[in-house]
Structure 1
Amino acid sequence: MRTFLLACALFLLGGCVTSQSQPRLPFNAWYVGLLAPNYMEVWVESVDVIDRRGLAYEQVHSGIVAIQSPSNNSGNPRGWPKRVGSGAGKNLPGIDLPEIIFVRWQSLVEPQTYNVRINIPEWVREKMLEQHSSYCQADKRVIDGLYRHDITIGLAPGGIAKAWVGGPCLEPIEIGRFEAAISKVGPYGGTSNGKHRPLSGKAKAYIEQHGVPYDAW
């Protein structure tokens, strides 16, 4: 969390502030979601955000990510989906559009704990505020008033992260690929004697047979 706290100080000149007026957005909240390649299980310890007002929000989300682990090792973990979904996450009401997102996560197949800083460029925030009309397959009609209010982050072994901005019925746009640093304190902030969460049986079976394709992301 050293990087996060330093960023708080730089942005706020005196600490992390989380109580301010509601941001003026054309939607109620933007969404942060996370996913991982097939079988490459992840546990997110913390998602922290600094918004465009310079306000810092710690631990806005944690837990599981969106992942598929088909039986009989029939899934393919290499690469990312051609069209990523929103991922597993939550809406963030009261938080303005993101300037920086920090993610600390456990990559369970290695196992290793990583910290990554994802800088959100201005063009992404501009895309999030653009209103669209688009045909939605689920509704079988054109829907008006659509926004790319989702930030989706993919987490992979080796500390690789990839981010997209997207929304319902709209094509996601890639933000960038990011390389994380290994956490010096280890899992759970150093409180678990180096022990990570266990792998599921399906993920363990896949890794034992095929290994981890580190060059795939």
Structure 2
Amino acid sequence: MNSILRITVCAYLLSGCTFANSEAMPYKSWRLGFSAPNYMEVWIESADVVDIKEQVYPRAMSGTAAIQTPLNNTGDPRGWPEKPGIGKGKNVTGADLPKKIYVRWQSLVEPQTYQMVINVPESTRAIMRKEEKAFCAFDGKWITDYRNALVINLAPGGMAKIWVMGSCLPAIEVTKVKAVVDPRGPYEGKSGGKYDKLSDQSKAYVEKFGVPYDSWK
């Protein structure tokens, strides 16, 4: 956890805030996943979670986000997905439902380093607690399902959109966040400003078409 994040989290925990709703989570863990538009590669340095019990889970997720890079520029990165996938990620084991999520990532096509705080409202946690009947097409059965996955799509310009979804329940958009640039650059300035290289497919797309910033506003 970087120094800015550590100070922010500590100040938050020492603020004496209490939570109006602390209902039990109806499943053992929830999933945090990340995706990015076609060709718009990102590297997640850290995603740190604060749950509703004020427990901090540093580096709940890091690494690459789910992305597609079709050959010959046949993919389309413009705009937010109508039906987002579950993204690349993992379960936040031991945590209760999220209150805040701190994300620091590198947008490799620009290149630029961003950081943001996602404030997860109680209305979102209410959706995550609600059980629903759902038909799972892959096995042809009706089940009781929960939207126990929180998916974050990261786009150039520091734009991020967040959904909650279940394995057999459609995604519900819950918020959109505009991140801020970290002037220290990648890895908190420890890499001398050096970013990872783009894949050949992403590099070819960006060189020909550029980055469609306006499509994610």
Q: Note whether the superposition's TM-score is higher than 0.5.
A: yes
Instruction: Render the CA deviation track for 1:165-215: whole Å, top value 9, x for unaligned.
Output: 111111111111110010121101111000011100000000000000000
Aligned mates of 1:97, 1:3 — CA distance in 2: 23
CA RMSD of aligned residues (A): 1.5
Please report how far the alpha carbon of residue 34 of structure 1 lies from its aligned counterpart in structure 2 after TM superposition. 0.1
Report the equivalent of 1:213: 212
Counterpart CA distance in 2 for 1:119 and 1:173 is 16
Superposition pairs of residues 134-213 of structure 1, within 5 angstroms: 134-144=134-144, 146-213=145-212
- Where does 1:95-110 land on structure 2 (aligned, <5 Å)? 95-110=95-110
Unaligned runs of 5+ in 2: 16-22
Asked whether the equivalents of residues 61 and 89 of structure 1 are also in contact (C-alpha less than 8 Å), the reply is yes
8 Å contact 1:11–1:55 — kept in the other structure? Answer: no
Residue matched to 1:90? 90
Name the amino acid aligned to 2:178. E
Identity, in percent, stands at: 49
Corresponding residue SS for 2:170: strand
Moved more, 87-96 or 54-63: 54-63
User: What's the TM-score, normalizing by structure 2?
Assistant: 0.92
Alignment-derived partner of residue 20 in structure 2: none
- Look up the match of 1:10: 11
- AA matched with 2:95: I
Code of the residue aligned with 2:10 in structure 1: it is A
Separation in structure 2 between the aligned mates of residue 100 and residue 147 of structure 1, nearest angstrom: 20
- The CA distance in 1 between the partners of 2:13 and 2:123, in whole Å, is 23
- The residue number in structure 2 matching 1:20 is none
Q: Which runs of 5+ in 1 are unaligned?
A: 15-22
